[in-house]
Copies of this chain bind each other. A is one copy, B any other.
Amino acid sequence: MKYYSIGEASAKFNIPESTIRYYEKKGLLPLIERDEAGRRLFSEDQITLLEIVIYLKNTHMPISGIKQYVDWVVEGDNTTERRLEMMKNHKQAVLAEISLMTESLKKIDVKITRYTKRIQDRKEQK
């Protein structure tokens, strides 16, 4: 079974080591083993969990929410319903945010069109 150092985990996901340490301190990465020298050893499972943490972070779940999720994962199978509920709710929140961004982007596109025209008009004026 392969173990990853913090440097390897950092490189794999392209996030700073300091962020990984911060996540561990916040409880998002529980039960990390250490070697004799006290260095973190990430199992495949923990790398997978880190990946999930990153997906949740990418979709703007707050640290406190990710922590709750991870706590439920550690607690085991009897939290499946709660995790399902949470992920469904989160999905709706993410879809709402994407909608808001997409709608706002339309207005930005209006600006792009207007500025482009203005610049064109000025060129033709010359």
Contacts and interface: CB of A to CB of B under 8 A. Distances in A.
A54 B103 CA distance: 12
Nearest to A82: B115
Interface string A77-107: 1001101100110110011011011111101
A84 to B, nearest CB: 4
Interface size bucket, A side?
A: 35 or more
Interface of A: 51-52, 54-56, 58-60, 77, 80-81, 83-84, 87-88, 90-91, 94-95, 97-98, 100-105, 107-109, 111-112, 115-116, 118-119
A38 B109 CA distance: 36
A104 B112 CA distance: 29
A112 B87 contact: yes
A124 to B, nearest CB: 15
B104 A58 contact: yes
